[in-house]
Amino acid sequence: MKFVTYINDGESGVGVLNAAETSVIPAAELGLEAKTMNELIDELRGGLPTVPAGVKELALSDIKLDAAIPEPKQDIICLGLNYRDHAEEATRADAVFDVQRGDAVYFAKRLQRAVAPGGIIDGHFDICDSLDYEVELGVVIGKDAKNVKAADAAEYIFGYTIINDVSARNLQTRHKQWYFGKSLDDFTPIGPCIVSAEKLGAMPELDIRCYVNGELRQNSNTRMMIFDIPYIIEELSAGMTLKAGTVIATGTPSGVALGMEPSVREYLKSGDVIRCEIEGIGVLENAIG
Ligand code: MG
């Protein structure tokens, strides 16, 4: 089941895609009161709605998709250097990334409002001279998780989405940590949908790719993560409650601009189009303003 946030005649709503992925079934048609993705996650409490026959649908061509979860309640929890090939390219590029391996690297990414599929990303070129992309699998928690064992992680996952962890490399290196350089307005496109976890489980093996202006830059599979999702949920929930609606960005594979040889390194510029794809979830495409 694919959940979306949409805008219809200026009004925001949530719903599920029909099987053909040509229209949206609004939550109200499923007997739900939710108007936002946060409300939908709370209302479903880890369950899934049933879709009755003959419900009213909104054609995708008549509405606009918004970010899958436009305003998460809290900052996004991010994994750094969670694909071995990316950890190697980042360490090669800048000593600030040369962390001791052995434990997961966690950090936060602030967002005021996630960018919708097709939305424009402000490159903040007045303060950023090294704008980069990072396609990532996003995990959305479905019910409050505290002291969850890895074996039980699947029942706490609402679903999966695509996140572009847009990054200002000069800021994240200058300030010796990643919070500021990854938290500028528009630096978090999320979408196009959230795929419920009932079929994918807690260890999805999905092809993950990123293209810039049609050129393939990142190409991997989520099974290449160093710390997998059950591990992450067990470790974090042992000390902090992961509230329903929490979003976790699970790290990016190699192929970011930072990882290129300095002589050929191509950071993003105005007009560039970034296309993030994850198998079974869809495409998240955005241009730089
Ligand atoms: Mg990242």
Q: CA-to-CA distance for 267 and 278, rounded, in angstroms?
A: 22
pLDDT exceeds cutoff 60 at 283: yes
Neighbours of 189 (CB within 10 A): 28
The pLDDT, as a whole number, for residue 86 is 82
> Is the pLDDT score of 90 beyond 90?
no
Q: Is the pLDDT of residue 7 over 90?
A: yes
SS3 assignment, position 279? coil
Structure-derived torsion over alpha carbons of residues 188, 189, 193, 198, reported in degrees to the nearest 10: -30
Q: How far apart are CA 199 and CA 190, in angstroms?
A: 21
Instruction: Please tell me what DSSP assigns to residue 151.
Output: G
CA atoms of 239 and 247, how far apart (whole Å): 17
Query: Is residue 100 pLDDT above 70, yes or no?
Result: no
Q: Is the dihedral of CA 103, 176, 209, 92 positive or negative?
A: negative
176 CA distance to ligand 1 middle (Å): 15
pLDDT at 74: 97
What value does the mean pLDDT of the chain take?
Answer: 95
How far is the centre of ligand 1, averaged over its atoms, from the C-alpha of 270 (Å)? 21
Binned at pLDDT 50, 70 and 90, residue 99 comes out as: low
The predicted model gives 127-135 an average pLDDT of 98
Q: Which residues have their alpha-adjacent CB atom under 5 A from ion ligand 1? A: 134, 165, 252
Q: What is the pTM of this model?
A: 0.96
pLDDT tens column, 214-271: 999 999 999 999 999 999 999 999 999 999 999 999 999 999 999 999 899 999 999 9
pLDDT confidence of residue 96: 57
Distance CA 114, CA 117 (A): 10
**Rounded to the nearest whole angstrom, what is the distance from the C-alpha of residue 83 to the centroid of ligand 1?**
10
